[in-house]
Amino acid sequence: MRILLVEDDPAISGEVAEALKRRGSAVDVFSDGQTALGAPSSCHYDCILLDLGLPGIDGMQLLSRWRRSKITSPVIIITARDGLDDRIGGLDSGADDYIVKPFELSELEARIRAVMRRSGQGGEIVGLTNGELTLDPLSHEVHFKDEQGKEQSAALTAREYSLLEALLRRPGAVLSRQALEDHIYAYGEEVESNAVEFIIYNLRRKVGAKAIRNVRGVGWKVAKEA
Ligand code: CA
C-alpha cells in the first residue's frame, strides 16, 4: 500500500517510514504543511498519517482542506498533544483515528489496518483473498492450494507482498506495470526497469504460474473471486 506521512520531526518520520517500508508499504514523507497540501491530489494514498504541529500549514487545517477537496483517504492523526480538545477537533475535521506520541509501531500498524478495514478501501485487509490466494498481513505469508489441492504457504519479501496486495485488492482487474510500480515504490525511489517482472517471476515460483496471469502488453491480474 502507499502511505503519506506528514511529520516534521525527522527522528519520528524516519523510524515510522523505515518500519512501514519493511512491511512492504511505499511511504512518501513530507515535513511541512505547505508542500504536503497538494500531495494527495497528485497521487492516491491508501492511508495518511498526519502530525498536527507542523510548519507552514498546521495538520488540522491541512485535514479540513483535504476533506473539502474530496480527498477521502483514511487519516490517522499522530500527535504529542493529548488534550481532549485536539482529539475531538481532529475527529470533527475528518480524521478516522488518532494516536498519541510516543507510540509503539505495532500499535500504529494495527490502527492503519483498522482504518482501512473501516473505510472499505479495497475491502478487507486482514486475510485479503480472491479465494485462490490469501495474504496474511501479520506473518507476511501467502496461503494457497498446490496442484494436488494441498494447503501450502510461502513467506514473501516486502516487495512481493506489496505487489500481490495490489493485485488482490482488485481481483479480475488488469494492473499495468506503472500502476504496480506506483503501489510499491515511494516518490523519488529508484525503480529498476524490469523490477515488476522480476518480482512477479519470483512470486510465480512460490505460488504457481497460473495464480498470476499476464495480459500481454497490458499488465497482470489475479482471478476474480468465484
Ligand atoms: Ca510536529
Rounded Cα distance, 82 and 201, in Å: 47
The domain 128-221 having CATH identifier 1.10.10.10: the answer here is yes
- What are residue 139's DSSP bridge partners? none
CA of 30 to the centre of ligand 1 (A): 11
CA of 224 to the centre of ligand 1 (A): 43
- What confidence score (pLDDT) does residue 91 get? 84
CA of 103 to the centre of ligand 1 (A): 14
Please give the class, per CATH, of domain 2-118.
alpha beta
CA of 50 to the centre of ligand 1 (A): 9
- What confidence score (pLDDT) does residue 121 get? 56
CA of 4 to the centre of ligand 1 (A): 15
CA of 59 to the centre of ligand 1 (A): 9
- What confidence score (pLDDT) does residue 122 get? 45
**Phi, psi angle pair for 29, to nearest 5°:** -110, 130
Provide the whole-model pTM.
0.71
CA of 107 to the centre of ligand 1 (A): 19
Question: Domain ranges in the chain?
Answer: 2-118, 128-221
CA-based nearest residue to 135, from 226, 35, 222: 222
pLDDT < 70 regions, the chain: 81-82, 120-127, 226
Rounded Cα distance, 131 and 129, in Å: 5
Beta pairing class for 141-145 and 133-136? antiparallel
CA of 108 to the centre of ligand 1 (A): 17
pLDDT in tens, 145-164: 888 889 999 999 989 999 99
